[in-house]
Chain A
Amino acid sequence: MEWEVDDDRRPVVVVVGLIEKATNSTKPDLDPKILKSIKSVVRHSDSELRHAAEYLISLMKRDHSQVRYLTLAIIHELFMRSKLFRALIVENLDQLLTLSVGFRRNQPLPAPPAIASKLRSKAIEFLERWNSTFGIHYRQLRLGHDYLKNTLRFQFPNLQANAARVQQERRERELRTKEILLKKYELLKSNFPSIKDEVNSIVDEISECLDILITSKEDNVPLDPIDEDDVHEFRSIELRQIRDNSLKEADKVQENSENKVVFDALRELYKVLVTKHIVAVQESVSVLVRVELSDNRLRDSMLKEFIDVRNHLKSIKKKCEEAGCVLTTPADETEEDIWEEGASETFDISTSTTPSKQTEDHANKRNDSPECSDRKRTNVIVKVEDPEVSGTKLNPLKSKLMVEAPVMKWGSFLDNWGSNRDFMANQRGLELEGHWGRVDHDATIPANKIAELNVQAIVYEEEHKEIQQCGAPLKKGGFCQRKDLKVCPFHGPIVARDDEGTPLNDTISTDDEKPDLKLFSTEELLKQAVNNVRETDKEVVKKREHDKKELKRAKLVKVRGHNEAVLRDAALASTSGSSSIGELEGREKDSLAKMLKKKMTAKDRLAQRLLSRKANAKQLNLGEDHSKYREAFPNQW
């Protein structure tokens, strides 16, 4: 806390130095530590704050957008906190806006254009925030905001208004749904007795039908004992499964010419029950759950009744399913063919019996038709088993293919290998109903999405490679044992070597040079030698002169450098408390200056060359044309 000690003696130094340090950076954001220290310094002394404001405004005038950007960030930080600072800044608000937004045509924002645009958008955003929080206390803020918004038509981010609008929209939507619910509730209240009557009548009818069927069933003769004996012979689980099913089937009432009429009626009633009443009751329950009323008693009683009705209907439905799996209309059968797939069936059968039931349930839900005829099911099994049988027959072909096929490691991606169907998104056994709003049971995830999610993952393994030894002969005998990829730090590039450690390629290159030399005659050699000597003499003379100049220059540079260092030290000692600021300065300035310089790209260079050449050519052509024209058409008058 050096500066706080200094505070009384040199009040200017501290904050100015800190601000200088904070803004002298190429980073997009302020250093939070420096910012914090600026804040703490400024907080304790008003004079520091005044100096800070003054210095910040002067920094805003710098010809560098980066400096301005960081300065603006500091201004914003202080502006949101200090009242005095606000008063100081607001006095010169139009100047600040000119320098940060750059709305005056004769004072555009300075160089790095990317940062300049960032600066502008930030300044506008800040102005909006200032205006929304403090606008009421400062007419200048209101004026500036109004001017930029209504006269110059700058686009303000309008954060607050946007948030408010979104909120408003949401509230309206909620209100609308509430209204709709209420309407539905009213309707329901008026319709309640009629619905109940309808449901009761259908329930009665169904139960009557069922009674008739049950009474007729008692006449049937059971065939069980014969089957019991055969149990031992069925070794395979699959076959037993089939048999169990068939046994269960036997328990049920078979449709025949006698009770066909009853079954038809039952089917009809069942269809009505499932498609109309259960759905209606479900819906009304959900309406009752969601509706908000001042008086809840009536609603609660209605809800209770509806739930009872629903449970009753469900039990009836179950009874129907148990009694008559007869409900196969032709349309339903075709549907079944489409979605029921062999693969899942075979899987279920071969592993366990419970999943098969599950799929059955699924089938019921999806088709809104509960039946699952066993006749159909056995067909499916046969169908699936067929390829297996044929597979064993075509063994040579398969084995051939097996040889060619790549061996894959096991992974979850194999679960859906080659399958090309859409997945139901909301059919995973999780009961989502009514927890988070409506659930779309038919939502599917398309096959390509699934494929995307299940790509094969491979862990990269690098190829193991033997690294060659350096193998150069060592003084103490033996060879260098270092293993480097390309260059040995002691013996140079690693090359193939023979047993004694001499490189193999080297000898060849030395051999190459000798024949060249032989071509020269002795006379020529002499001449060359004399020339060489003279040239070296000349070079030496030149070099000496050059050296002298260099020496002088070096001396001058040294002196200058020393002077500068002394000056800088003096300046630092008089302005800044901490030495670290001084150290940074040179380098950072350099980089800040670099930001200003436009980078020379390949395109620029090309353009320069092409353009200049073209221009030259054009000029030449022009001259030629003119002379030609003159020759062709001498003065016609």
Chain B
Amino acid sequence: MWKEIGDRESGKLRPNSFITRIRSNRLSSLLLSNHKEIVSSHRGAINSLQVDLTEGRYLLSGASDASLAVYDIQRATDYEGGALIAKHKPILAVDKQHPNGHKYAISTAIWYPIDTGLFVTGSYDHHVNVWDTNTTQVVMDFKMPGKVYRTAMSSLATSHMLIATATEDVQVRLCDMASGAFSHTLSGHRDGIMAVEWSTSSEWVLMTGGCDGAIRFWDIRRAGCFSVLDQSHSQLGRRPPLLERSTTKVTSKSSSSGQTSSAKARAPQRKVASGSGSKHSGSSRTLRHAKGSAKQRLHPGLLSSQDRATAHYGAVLGLKATEDGMYLLSAGSDSRLRLWDIQSGCNTLVHFEIVRLQSSKAIQLAVTQDSSLVFVPCMTSVKAFDVWTGKASMTLQGHYEHVNCCWYGTHDQEVYTGGNDRQILVWSPPKLISQDVDEGDRRTVAVDQDNWSD
């Protein structure tokens, strides 16, 4: 740490690499935080956690007892044990008694991505509510045809403010906050939809995973889905050849050069990956078009609804796109985690060392900023896997019952996890400087040290 700071001081280290080094150092030493404690007010399993995207300060949680709460994770409400433990109590809490509150379990709670004045909740009582944070009132209410499993809002969107909702129903509905109506109804899945995620590279692209095991990509400007992920359609390594990509017509990615360079550095097996996979993808695409022409009647956008390819055996429980928008991670009830190349739509065949996943509920994954680690709730623990090799690098063991959700706080490299045991745990890198306990309190607090009597 000090050496790096010295290097940075003398200019040996560039600012970016300095930041990434510090971050990865801190990340590799995550521990159950003793000095930061979130006092959960929930009386049921915690289903959803999110820290707001603008300030990185307010943690929103939704629980099975139809309660939701907002915690300030930067400033503690009170201290215990001589300022050793900072307790964060909810600064806003809503439960069943609230006149417009949900009746049944809240399955999802997300912040409005632009500011913290609004947040959206979805519940098993078939409703999606939009709340005003300051007045704690429901400002908009969407009635869904079935239980709501997940909602998502695009963090990049500048031209729309649509809430994508995954429900029991086979159709994905996009709720427009501006008009209070459903703007889109996307059909293609054959079963309920468990997971929904906006692309992090394009504001128009939506990704959904259903109980039928399919992951579908939608472009909301067009009818129908434009791609269905197929687990047998795979490529080795991280990226198809550059040449092939330039020919494809899928939405252009905003990012590039930096990523490719890093990819080069990272993937020596790129050569192996080259041919077959991408070629295959190209041919399948043409094949699909051929099929379409054969059937003629069908609208070209609905062609893919004939595609019965599956991404998982069993339901898709969670989706998470990496920050750069190039890869998608999906968790399925077949206890597999898969890494997809969004651009080519191929399974990258990374083997994640997962033993078992909870299979009944949707789970919430978290990816670090530089997409090096993915946090996956595995039964009672949360495991961190290296995204590119699939090796388990950490196991966060602290919950006493199944973990449902986790969130990675980018600001201070903290991980928040919520589970069926009603606790929200904070995992943080150890403090560099241990806080001095006040002299007066030191007497009351038992000192933690060896105490051998003989």
Contact = CB atoms under 8 A, between A and B. Distances in A.
18 contacts: A39-B454, A43-B452, A81-B450, A83-B448, A91-B397, A94-B380, A133-B446, A134-B446, A136-B84, A136-B445, A137-B448, A139-B425, A142-B37, A143-B398, A143-B400, A143-B423, A143-B425, A147-B423
Contact of B421 (A39, A138, A147): A147
A54 B446 CA distance: 26
A86 B398 contact: no
A500 B142 CA distance: 120
A151 B85 contact: no
Nearest to A97: B400
Contacts of A94: 380, 397-400
Interface in A5-58: 36, 39-40, 43
B268 interface: no
Contacts of A43: 452
Contacts, number: 58
Interface string B241-281: 00000000000000000000000000000000000000000
B449 interface: yes
A82 B450 CA distance: 5
B436 interface: no
A140 interface: yes
A80 interface: yes
Interface string B395-409: 001111000000000
A40 B454 CA distance: 8
Identify the interface centre among A40, A134, A137, A147: most chain B CB within 10 Å of its CB: A137
A342 interface: no
B126 interface: no
Given A92-B397, A94-B400, 15 more contacts: A81-B450, A82-B450, A82-B452, A83-B449, A94-B380, A136-B446, A138-B34, A139-B33, A139-B398, A139-B425, A140-B32, A140-B398, A143-B423, A146-B423, A151-B421
Give chain A's interface residue range (CB within 8 Å of chain B): 20 to 34
Interface in B417-454: 421-423, 425, 445-446, 448-454
Contacts of A137: 34, 84, 448
Nearest to A98: B400
Identify the interface centre among A43, A138, A143, A146: most chain B CB within 10 Å of its CB: A143
Interface residues of B, number: 26
B422 A139 contact: no
A28 to B, nearest CB: 23
Interface in B67-81: 80-81
A139 to B, nearest CB: 5
A626 B34 CA distance: 73
A142 B421 CA distance: 13
Interface string A550-566: 00000000000000000
Contacts of B450: 81-84
B32 A139 contact: yes
Interface string A69-99: 0000000000011111010000110100000
A370 to B, nearest CB: 63
B448 A151 contact: no
A144 interface: yes
A92 B80 CA distance: 25
Nearest to A134: B448
Nearest to A39: B454
Nearest to A151: B421
A479 to B, nearest CB: 67
Contacts of B422: 151
4 nearest CB pairs, A to B:
A137-B448, A136-B81, A147-B400, A139-B34
Contacts of B32: 139-140
Contacts of B448: 83, 86, 134, 137
Contacts of A142: 37
The SS class assigned to the A binding surface is: helix
The SS class assigned to the B binding surface is: loop
B380 A81 contact: no
A85 to B, nearest CB: 9
A36 B453 CA distance: 10
Contacts of B451: 80-81
A146 B454 CA distance: 33
Contact of B454 (A36, A84, A136): A36
Contact of A136 (B33, B80, B398, B399): B80
A39 B451 CA distance: 11
A140 B380 CA distance: 14
A151 B448 CA distance: 28
A460 B397 CA distance: 69
A369 B398 CA distance: 79
A535 to B, nearest CB: 70
Contacts of B398: 94, 139-140, 143
Identify the interface centre among B33, B34, B84, B400: most chain A CB within 10 Å of its CB: B400
Contacts of B399: 94
Contacts of B85: 136
A146 B398 CA distance: 12
A32 B423 CA distance: 40
Contacts of A151: 400, 421-422
A140 B450 CA distance: 19
Interface string A208-245: 00000000000000000000000000000000000000
Nearest to A103: B400
Nearest to A139: B34
B84 A39 contact: no
A83 to B, nearest CB: 5
A83 B397 CA distance: 20
A512 B446 CA distance: 91
Contacts of B446: 133-134, 136
B452 A81 contact: yes
Nearest to A82: B450
Interface in B56-100: 80-81, 84-85
Contacts of B380: 94
Interface string B33-60: 1100100000000000000000000000
B42 to A, nearest CB: 12
B98 to A, nearest CB: 24
A134 B81 CA distance: 11
A89 to B, nearest CB: 13
A151 B81 CA distance: 24
Contacts of A147: 400, 421, 423
Nearest to B449: A83
A139 B37 contact: yes
A43 to B, nearest CB: 5
A133 B451 CA distance: 12
Contacts of B454: 36, 39-40
Interface string B129-152: 000000000000000000000000
Contacts of A139: 32-34, 37, 398, 425
A146 B80 CA distance: 16
Contacts of B421: 147, 151
Interface string A105-141: 0000000000000000000000000000110111110
A257 B188 CA distance: 128
A134 B446 CA distance: 7
B3 to A, nearest CB: 27
Contacts of A83: 448-450
Contacts of A133: 446
Interface string B371-396: 00000000010000000000000000
Interface in B20-37: 32-34, 37
Contacts of B34: 137-139
A86 B449 CA distance: 10
A43 B448 CA distance: 16
A82 B452 CA distance: 7
A140 B448 CA distance: 15
B415 to A, nearest CB: 14
Nearest to B35: A139
Contacts of A92: 397
Nearest to A80: B451
A133 B37 CA distance: 19
B435 to A, nearest CB: 13
